[in-house]
Structure 1
């Protein structure tokens, strides 16, 4: 599996016979024209959805969009808590704690998770009821993942300051995962240095990919 961190939450996953593009916002796209391309958008926020995805030049492209986007494109529009069979992809959706959905994709005997904005968003100064909702909903959703995950794209946002690891630690504890690609960086690549210094709750020994710059590619064995 080849995984490219494009920018922020955008990533490209290249498998033997498929290309999966998640939440493209910015970054350089280098696409194998011989593999079908599946473009996922978790929700309509500007940092997860760039309308230029509809200008991508590729001979075989399929769009899988949250139904929070307007239904004006030739695409599959997906709702939360549903499972879809699209070609040879099995795609399940989770409820985001912000807007739209998260994706759990089964293809080529691999399982890939992309969080979108599904995260434990705990903010100092917010009403306690809101923070409780974030915690309960996030735990409910990740606890619904019943199978091991090969690659998980998980929100790690240092704007949350001391609470930036809440979502990651909960995910590591709950979901057996081989590789974690931290997302939602907004260019704050110092996050990787912070993660290397943390004592994470990592009982399944997931390997965290050290994202240090835009358009960074990792080749991983799954």
Structure 2
């Protein structure tokens, strides 16, 4: 499969027979017109949702949208903690710790996790009860992932300063994943070099992908 990191959290996954577009915000979209396209929006925040997705020129496009978009556009609106079937694409939803949902997509015998804003958001200076909610809810949602994953798009946001690895480290310890793409860093590509220097406990030996620039495309081999 091919994965294009578009910008921030936006990613395009091209499999043999399907294309999946997650949380498009900006970037150069080059979409195969011969494969059905499934467009996912995890929530309505501007950095995850660009209304231009509804103007995509494609002969077969399906929109899978978080309910917090409030049914403004035609598409399939999804609730949290549900399982849906769209053609031969199975979609499970998790509860975000911020707004909307996260996705687990099963298609072509592959499992793909996309976090959206599901993360262990710990902010210094915030009330203890808020940070405790974030920790409890994040662990609860990640613990619910029972199957191994081929690819996971996981939030790594340096605005959290000393707490920026909380979500990634917990994910590495609890979900058997082959490849991890960090997301949600607003074009600050120093994140790849910084992660290499961190002493992460990588229980399942996931390969954390180095991302160097906007619209970077990767060829991924799933074993």
**Same fold? TM cut 0.5:** yes
Matched, 1:58 2:58: yes
1:1-222, aligned counterparts within 5 Å? 1-222=1-222
CA displacement 1:1-37 (0-9 Å, x = unmatched)? 1000000000000000000000000000001000000
CA displacement 1:26-74 (0-9 Å, x = unmatched)? 0000010000000000000000000000011111000000000021322
State the distance in 2 between where 1:74 and 1:171 align. 34
Shift of 1:201: 1.3
CA displacement 1:143-201 (0-9 Å, x = unmatched)? 00000000000000011111110000000000000000000010111111100111111
Using the size of structure 1 for normalisation, the TM-score is 0.99
Using the size of structure 2 for normalisation, the TM-score is 0.99
Structure 2: 5+ residue runs without aligned partners? none
CA displacement 1:64-105 (0-9 Å, x = unmatched)? 000000213220000000000110011000000000000000
Q: Alignment RMSD, CA only? A: 0.5
Number of residue pairs matched by the alignment: 222
Moved segments of 4+, more than 6 Å? none
Structure 1: 5+ residue runs without aligned partners? none
